Amino acid sequence: WGANLCLNCAWDTALLGSWAPVQIGYREPARFGRIEFDRRGPAAAWQGAADLFVAQGALAVTTTGTLPSRCELRLWPAADGTAEPIRVERTGTGAIALPFALPGLAAENIGKPWRARLAVEQDGRALLATAFQFTPAAPLTCNVRAYVRDRLIEAEVIPGAALARRQGLAATVALAARGGPTLRTVTLPDLKPLTPALASFSGDDVAAEAMTVTVRVTDQDGTTVFESIRDLEKPFRPWWLDDTTGADEVVLPPYKPLRVVGAAVLPDGRSYRLGSSLLPVDVQIGGNPILAAPVVLRARIGGQPRDWAGAASAIVEQNGHHVIMQGSADCGGLVLAGRARIEYDGMIRTDLEIRPASEAGEVAVEELTLEIPLQGRYAEYLYTFPGRWGSVANAGALPPEGARHGFKPFVWLGDNDRGFSWFCESAQHWLPEDREDAITVDREGDRVVLRLRLLAGVRLNAPLRYTFGFQATPVKTPEKTVWDYRPFHISQYGLQNRPAPINGHISYPAAGTIRGDRGTAEMWVLTPCDSDPNGPGKGDLSIPNVGLFTIEVEPKTNAGLFWCGPAQALRIWSRLDDRVVTSLEAPVTWKQGEWHHLAFSWGEELVIAVDGVALARRPYAGLMPRDLATARLAIGRPGPPLAVDEIRVSDTARTPRLEEQPYTADDHTLLLDPLETAEATGRAHLRQTRPSRGAASGEAGGNAFVGEGRHGKGLALKPHGTEYTFLDFLADYGVRTLCFHSQWSWMGYPMVPPGQEQDLRDLVAACHRKGMQLLLYASPLSADEAPEWAMYHKDYLIEPLTWPYRYRDAHIAPAACWQSHYRNLWLARQARLIDEFDIDGFYLDGSEWPLWCRNRHHGCGYTREDGKVGDTCNIFGTRDYMKRLYVLCRSRKADAQLNIHNSTVMVIPTLGWGTSSWDGEQLGSLSWDKGGAVDKMQYALDVLPLDAFRAEFMGRQWGVPAEFLCYQRPYTTPQILAVTLLHDVLVRPSADYLPMVSELWRLYDRFGMRDAEFLPYWSNTGVIQAGPEGIRTSAYRHPRHGLLMVVSNLAAAAVTADVQIATGALGLAGPGLTARDALSEEPIALTDGRFALTMAPMSYRWVWLATP
C-alpha cells in the first residue's frame, strides 16, 4: 500500500510536514511511502528516543518471528558528513538493546545536531529502516548574568539530564579580574539534575572592568565532568547604556514649539496655567475652558479643611521643547514643594513632595484628595486604563451615577472633540492601600469631578513623594489620516519577485440575485485541472476543491456547487450551522483547459448538469432555507485559478440550452452577467462587472482579469502570469503602506537576521518604486536569540514575565520594560535600520503599552505597607521610548510613520506619538452567538456600543488617526464598516476585503474627502434627518463636489431608510440636484431633498448629491 502520515500542529506552523517527501500537497500518491501488511510475517519496532537527547543510553528494538534479526545503529555529527559514524550492531530475537554514548559532555558538542540511521533485517528481508536527526541536550547549563543598576553578577548552574547518573555533583564558581587573581570563589554542593544553583558576586568582587567567570563541575571522586570559562567585558557598561538616540530637544511637525504668554504655557491648540501647587488652575482647548475650577489638593487636618497658599509658581527653564516650573505651598500642617515640566505635546509632569510642616512633628491627615473639576458638557465620556480583553467596558458614556474604581494609572474624561487626562505610575503612598474608591468620578450639577484619594486617616511623619501627569487632548493636528496611509500587512521577504498568489473571485448580493427555495445557476468554466473518477492518481488529487457557486450566508451556513478533488466529482451541498443537511454528487471526466458548461438546479429536486446533460438528480425540497438579505453569491471562492463566462441565475429549475447561448434575459432571469462590460484598472485588473440583468455590479476580488471567454469576453480568476507580482497586486489596489510583521526578524527584534540584509534592501527599494512605504514590526518583546539576552534579560524584562510569546523552534520572546536602560538599545538599533535600509518607520505592536512591572533591578516596583512588592505601570519610561522613537524617525524622514496597534490602550502620553492607530483586536475572540442568546446582528452593537466607539475608537478627540481591526468575528468587515464609516474610521483590509476597502480609498480620492468638512451623525441633525430607528447618517461637504453621505442601518432587520436633507442649509439648493450611489453609480430618486434606500441589517450605502 502507498500511504502518507501528515503532521499539522496548529499552534506552530514550523511543525508541519509529512512522512512521505511530497512536493505540492499531501495528496500525491505517486510520492507516498510504502507500507506492507502481513499477518504472518515478522515485524520490528523501536523505542528509547529519550536517551538520544541525553547523549547516552540504548535504543530498544523489539522483533517478532523465530529467526534472528540483525540491527544496526549509526550516529554521526550532522555538520560533518565525512565523519566516521559511531556504529552499534546486535543480532538476536525478541528484545534487542543497542547501547551508545556520544561525546556530549565536551563543550564543543553542546547543542550540535546529530544524524542517525537505524536498520533491522531478518533473513535478508528489511523489516525497518529509518533515518532521523536529533540534538542532544546540554549536560549542564551555565548562565552568567549582569544587573547594571545593582552592579551584580550572577552565575546559574543547572545540571542536565545527562548528568543524572553521576553521583555527588558539586560546582565551584570563581570570579577573577581578567588576567589577574581570583577575587572570590563560591562552592555549590550537592547539585541536583534540572535544579538551578546560584552564585552571586557584588561589591568589591566586581570592581574590575573585565572579568572571567570559571565554572567547574566535579563528581564524588573529584573528577571534572564539565568546565565553562566566560569572559566578561565591561558588564555594567554595555554599549547602549548611555546612548541618547532620539533624545534631541527638537520639535518636529506636526507639533509646534511651546509658547509662553504671561503666566500661560501654550502647546498647540491648548493653554495651561499652573498654580503655586504646580497643579493646573486653567486649561483651555481650542479656546474652550475645560476646567470648572482649579485642580486642587483637598486636605483635611484636625477636622478642618485646609487651603493651600504660596507664591505663584515660577518658570525656571523655558524653550520651544519644554517649560520647567517650580513652586511651593503650605496648608497649615503640611508643606508642598516640587517641579512641573510641560512638554510641547502638552504633557505636564508634576513631581511633588509633601511633608509635615514641622521637621520633628507628626500630622494626622484625615484626608488628602486630588480633585479635578471639569465642566460637565466636556465630560461626556470616561476612559480608564487598563481595559480588559473581550470587552470595551472601560470606555463609553459616563454613567448617570458617576463611577468608582480602585487605583488605575490613567483616566480620561472628554467629549467628541476634546478631553483631559490624569495619570500616575503606581499606588505608592495611596493610603490605606487597595481602596475600592481610590478613584471616583462624581456628577455635581453642571460639573464632573474626578477625585483621586491619596490619604485617609494617616499619621504622617515623613515626606511622601508623588508624580502626577496631566494632558489635554487632542495632542496634535495630524497631517494625514488612515484614508491617506492605506496600510496592508505582509509576512515574507521577496514579495517583489513572487507571483501574486491570490486567485480571483466574483461576488454578488444574494438578495434579488438568487432564491433559496428554487432556481438554476449556470456558467461556462475553463477547467483548472484534470478530473477522472476511474482510479487513484488518474485525476489531479493535488487540488482538493474548486468553488464554483457558493451562497454565503454566514461562516458556517452556505450552499452551492463545487468540484470535489478527492471524489473527482461535482457536488451540490447545503450546510446549516456547520451541519451538511443534503448533498448530491456527479463524477465527471475532463481535461485541464477545456470549456464546459456547468449548471445545477433546485426546487423539488436537485440536479447537476454538464454541457446541457443531467448527470445526477434526486428529490429534495429547496436548497437554502435561511434569509438571504445579507448573503453573497460567490463565483470561484475558494479554489485554484479558473476562467468563467456567461453567468446566469434563474428563479426556477430549468434545463440549460446551449444552442440559445449567449443568453438574453427572460422573465425568469434573476442575474445575467455576460462579462462583456467588466471594468478594470492597472494592468487590466478587474474591480467590477456590469451584469445586464440583476445586481448593479459584481464585485471582483483577488486576481481577476478580463480575458477571452467562451462567448466574447470572459473572466480569468487567476494571477496575470508570472510577471505580475504580489507587490503589483497590492499597488493596483491602492495600498500605500506595507506593515512587515514579526517574521522580518526574531519577533521584530530591531536587527536584520544575518544573511537577510540584502533581502530587506531589495524589498524596500521595490516598495519605493511602487510609491509604497515599508514599516517594520516592533514591539516590547525581547527575543531569546538577541545578542544581549543571555547576559541581561533578567535585568530588563518585565517581572512577572509578561507576554511570553513562543515563536519559531520553541524560542521565547517576553516583554522588556521600557523603564530599564534597554530602551536605549532598541532606539539605537531602530535608528540604524532607517539609516542602513531606508525603511519608512515602524508598525508598533504594544510598544506604546505601559506595562505593570515589579523588577527592582531596573527600578520598578515599590515596597507596600504590608511588605509586599507593588507594581509600577511604566508610563514615563514608555513615553520616553515613544517620544524618542518619533524624533529619530521624523528627523531622518519627514514622512516617517509610527503605526500603533493599540487595542484597549489610549494612554495618550505614550500613544500620542503615533501617526496612526489600529484598535479593536480585544473583541476579535468573541463568537457570534454569545452563548446562543443574542442574534448576531444585535451582538455587534451589544459588544461595541456606539458610545464606546466614540470614546475610544474615533481618534479625533485624541489627535491620533484611528483605524479598526476586524477578525470577521463577532462581525464581518462589511458589517462593522456600517459602524466605523459613520465615525470617519476605516477597517484595515485583509486580503479578502482589500477590493472592498480599495473602492472606499478610490471614493475618498474622487470626492476629495480630505478637503471636505465632516458632518457626523451626532451633530448633524439640524441639516439631516434620518429614520426609522437604527438609521444613522454622517456626511462630507465639499465646496465644489457636493455632499457625500454614508447611510448605515444598524438595526437587526432590513428597513427602508428615509433621509431628508436641508439642501439650502447645506448649500445644495438649486436646479439639477441629483443623488446616486457613490460606488455603483446607480441613480437614486431624490424629491425635495428626500430619498429612500432599502437596506439590509448592519449595512451601509454611500450616496453622492451634487449639482451639474
Residue-wise pLDDT tens digits, 497-532 = 887 766 778 889 898 899 999 999 999 999 988 898
pLDDT of residue 540: 54
Helices (H), 320-424: none
Domain 140-233 homologous superfamily, CATH = Immunoglobulins (2.60.40.10)
Given a cut of 60, whether residue 164 has pLDDT beyond it is: yes
Phi-psi region of 1078 (alpha: psi -120 to 50; beta: other; left: phi over 0): alpha
- DSSP β-ladder status, 487-490 and 737-740: parallel
Give the distance from CA 511 to its chain's centroid: 34
Given a cut of 80, whether residue 881 has pLDDT beyond it is: yes
Q: How confident is the prediction for the chain on average, in pLDDT?
A: 90
| Cα–Cα distance measured from residue 137 to residue 56, given in angstroms and rounded to the nearest whole number | 11
Residue-wise pLDDT tens digits, 626-678 = 988 778 899 987 766 788 999 999 999 999 999 888 999 999 999 999 988 65
How large is the greatest C-alpha to C-alpha distance in the chain, in angstroms? 108
CB contact set of 214 (below 8 Å; sequence gap of 6+): 172, 173, 174, 176, 227, 228, 229, 230
Residue-wise pLDDT tens digits, 723-752 = 778 898 899 889 999 999 999 999 989 999
pLDDT band, very low/low/confident/very high, at 12 (cuts 50, 70, 90):
very low
pLDDT of residue 935: 43
Find where cell 508642598 sits.
336
Given a cut of 60, whether residue 23 has pLDDT beyond it is: no
Tell me the three state secondary structure of residue 504: coil
Find where cell 451589544 sits.
942
| Cα–Cα distance measured from residue 796 to residue 759, given in angstroms and rounded to the nearest whole number | 31
Find where cell 429549475 sits.
653
| Cα–Cα distance measured from residue 432 to residue 666, given in angstroms and rounded to the nearest whole number | 81
Where is pLDDT greater, at 1082 or 866? 866
Distances (CA, A) of 383 to 348, 375, 387, 730, 765: 19, 17, 9, 37, 42
pLDDT band, very low/low/confident/very high, at 434 (cuts 50, 70, 90):
very high
Cell numbers placing 631: 448573503
Whether the Cβ atoms of residue 174 and residue 184 lie closer than 8 Å to each other = yes
CATH of region 505-674+683-696: 2.60.120.200
Whether the Cβ atoms of residue 542 and residue 28 lie closer than 8 Å to each other = yes
Ramachandran angles phi, psi of 365, nearest 5°: -95, 110
pLDDT of residue 105: 53
| Cα–Cα distance measured from residue 196 to residue 870, given in angstroms and rounded to the nearest whole number | 27
| Cα–Cα distance measured from residue 1046 to residue 998, given in angstroms and rounded to the nearest whole number | 16
Task: Tell me which amino acid residue 573 is.
Answer: W
- Mean of pLDDT values over 294-307: 95
Whether the Cβ atoms of residue 409 and residue 851 lie closer than 8 Å to each other = no
pLDDT of residue 699: 80
| Cα–Cα distance measured from residue 563 to residue 573, given in angstroms and rounded to the nearest whole number | 11
| Cα–Cα distance measured from residue 300 to residue 282, given in angstroms and rounded to the nearest whole number | 24
Given a cut of 60, whether residue 536 has pLDDT beyond it is: no
pLDDT band, very low/low/confident/very high, at 234 (cuts 50, 70, 90):
very high
| Cα–Cα distance measured from residue 363 to residue 948, given in angstroms and rounded to the nearest whole number | 44
Considering only CA atoms, which of 438, 463, 436, 467 is closest in space to residue 450? 438
Task: Tell me which amino acid residue 59 is.
Answer: L
Given a cut of 80, whether residue 684 has pLDDT beyond it is: no
| Cα–Cα distance measured from residue 31 to residue 915, given in angstroms and rounded to the nearest whole number | 52
Residue-wise pLDDT tens digits, 1007-1053 = 999 999 999 999 999 999 999 999 999 999 999 999 999 999 999 88
Given a cut of 50, whether residue 13 has pLDDT beyond it is: no
pLDDT of residue 35: 75
Architecture of the domain defined by 259-473:
Distorted Sandwich (2.70)
- Mean of pLDDT values over 62-88: 90
| Cα–Cα distance measured from residue 437 to residue 553, given in angstroms and rounded to the nearest whole number | 48
| Cα–Cα distance measured from residue 195 to residue 199, given in angstroms and rounded to the nearest whole number | 14
Considering only CA atoms, which of 595, 616, 589, 510 is closest in space to residue 554? 510
Listed by start position, the domains of the chain span 38-134, 140-233, 259-473, 505-674+683-696
- DSSP β-ladder status, 986-987 and 962-964: parallel
Q: Length of the chain, please?
A: 1108
| Cα–Cα distance measured from residue 890 to residue 842, given in angstroms and rounded to the nearest whole number | 11
pLDDT band, very low/low/confident/very high, at 27 (cuts 50, 70, 90):
low
| Cα–Cα distance measured from residue 407 to residue 81, given in angstroms and rounded to the nearest whole number | 63
Whether the Cβ atoms of residue 1030 and residue 1049 lie closer than 8 Å to each other = yes
Cell numbers placing 75: 550516529
| Cα–Cα distance measured from residue 664 to residue 509, given in angstroms and rounded to the nearest whole number | 21
Where is pLDDT greater, at 1053 or 841? 841
Tell me the three state secondary structure of residue 571: strand
Considering only CA atoms, which of 493, 473, 338 is closest in space to residue 414? 473
| Cα–Cα distance measured from residue 375 to residue 446, given in angstroms and rounded to the nearest whole number | 6
Residue-wise pLDDT tens digits, 252-281 = 999 999 999 999 999 999 999 999 999 999
Given a cut of 60, whether residue 986 has pLDDT beyond it is: yes
| Cα–Cα distance measured from residue 64 to residue 67, given in angstroms and rounded to the nearest whole number | 8
38-134 has which fold?
Answer: Immunoglobulin-like (2.60.40)
Query: What is the model's pTM?
Result: 0.85
Cell numbers placing 116: 542517525
pLDDT of residue 236: 96
Given a cut of 70, whether residue 843 has pLDDT beyond it is: yes
CB contact set of 1008 (below 8 Å; sequence gap of 6+): 1038, 1040, 1041
CB contact set of 601 (below 8 Å; sequence gap of 6+): 519, 520, 521, 607, 609, 653, 654
| Cα–Cα distance measured from residue 871 to residue 854, given in angstroms and rounded to the nearest whole number | 5
pLDDT of residue 535: 62
Tell me the three state secondary structure of residue 450: strand
| Cα–Cα distance measured from residue 228 to residue 138, given in angstroms and rounded to the nearest whole number | 12
| Cα–Cα distance measured from residue 819 to residue 854, given in angstroms and rounded to the nearest whole number | 11
Residue-wise pLDDT tens digits, 332-371 = 899 999 999 999 999 999 999 999 998 768 999 999 999 9
Considering only CA atoms, which of 643, 702, 645 is closest in space to residue 503? 702
Given a cut of 70, whether residue 909 has pLDDT beyond it is: yes
Identify the sign of the CA torsion 813, 819, 821, 826. Answer: positive
Whether the Cβ atoms of residue 136 and residue 104 lie closer than 8 Å to each other = yes
From the number of C-beta atoms within 10 Å of its C-beta (0-12, 13-18, 19+), residue 690 rates as middle
Distances (CA, A) of 994 to 407, 665, 684, 803: 42, 32, 17, 30
Q: What 8-state DSSP symbol labels residue 944?
A: S
Given a cut of 50, whether residue 88 has pLDDT beyond it is: yes
Whether the Cβ atoms of residue 922 and residue 391 lie closer than 8 Å to each other = yes
Q: Evaluate whether 38-134 and 259-473 have a shared fold.
A: no
Burial 902-919 (b: 16+ CB within 10 A, else e): bbbbbbbbbbbbbbbbbb
C-alpha atoms less than 13 angstroms from C-alpha of 904 in its C-beta half-sphere: 18
pLDDT of residue 106: 53
| Cα–Cα distance measured from residue 613 to residue 599, given in angstroms and rounded to the nearest whole number | 9
Cell numbers placing 19: 512522512
Residue-wise pLDDT tens digits, 915-939 = 999 999 999 877 654 433 334 445 6
Whether the Cβ atoms of residue 964 and residue 981 lie closer than 8 Å to each other = no
Residue-wise pLDDT tens digits, 767-819 = 999 999 999 999 999 999 999 999 999 999 999 999 999 887 778 999 999 99
Residue-wise pLDDT tens digits, 961-979 = 999 999 988 888 999 999 9
Cell numbers placing 522: 449556470
- Which residues are paired to 322 by β-bridges? 343
pLDDT of residue 640: 67
- Mean of pLDDT values over 832-847: 98
pLDDT of residue 930: 40
3-state per-residue secondary structure call for 106-149: CHHHCCCCEEEEEEEEECCEEEEEEEEEECCCCCEEEEEEEECC
Q: What 8-state DSSP symbol labels residue 424?
A: -
CB contact set of 609 (below 8 Å; sequence gap of 6+): 522, 597, 598, 599, 600, 601, 615, 655, 656
pLDDT band, very low/low/confident/very high, at 19 (cuts 50, 70, 90):
low
| Cα–Cα distance measured from residue 543 to residue 133, given in angstroms and rounded to the nearest whole number | 32
